[in-house]
Amino acid sequence: MRTDMRFDSEGRLSAIGISWTFDEFYSAFAVEGAEKTTDGYDEELLAGLTDVNLANLAEWNYFTEVVSGGEPVATGKAENGKSTWDNETGRLTLSFVVPLDNPQIPSSTTPVKIRVYDPSYYISIDYLKEEPVLMTGNVPAGCKVETETPNVENVWTTLPESAFTSSSSQLGAYFAPVATVACASAT
């Protein structure tokens, strides 16, 4: 996964761009039975995959959690969805943008934290090793983004029993990398 923290013309964090490159197994499953050309798969097929995936993810807020100052930030319906096929790797990528209902001004005292994860932990979502998080648009001076990935061994040994027994468990949240955006000066 790669995320793109998108800043608007006023220097506010207004949307999160998300790009998932699926593993070989899901990629093969998604296009099973479809006709492939030397260029890959038909745009209509890929558009259909985008529609189905985003419709299914909507119920789960696109696996996206945004928090500012410890409070949840509401997000809107995903936009600009697109699926692409990479013939070289044999992998499908889904890209989309999750807008924030209220753009945020990240600061050192009120950073914005983003986690993208499957609540059930059925799907593992990992950041790319190189340039996992970008910042684009009118990024205020002094902004930086840091990612922190929990140590899986420590998570497993410290999970509360409710992570396994509660019907509202968010098991995936315990393992989710966190991207934190903070700006030294606000615009």
| pLDDT for position 187 | 44
Residue indicated by tokens 């558009």: 47
> pLDDT by residue (tens digit) across 71-109?
999 999 999 999 999 999 999 999 999 999 999 999 999
Query: Mean pLDDT throughout 141-154?
Result: 79
Residue of 77 and 128 predicted with greater confidence: 77
Identify the band that residue 131 occupies on the pLDDT scale cut at 50, 70 and 90.
Answer: confident
Total residues belonging to the chain: 187
Half-sphere exposure of 67 (CA within 13 A, CB side): 11
CA distance 183 to 139: 9
The per-residue pLDDT for range 47-68, each reduced to its tens digit, is: 999 999 999 999 989 999 999 9
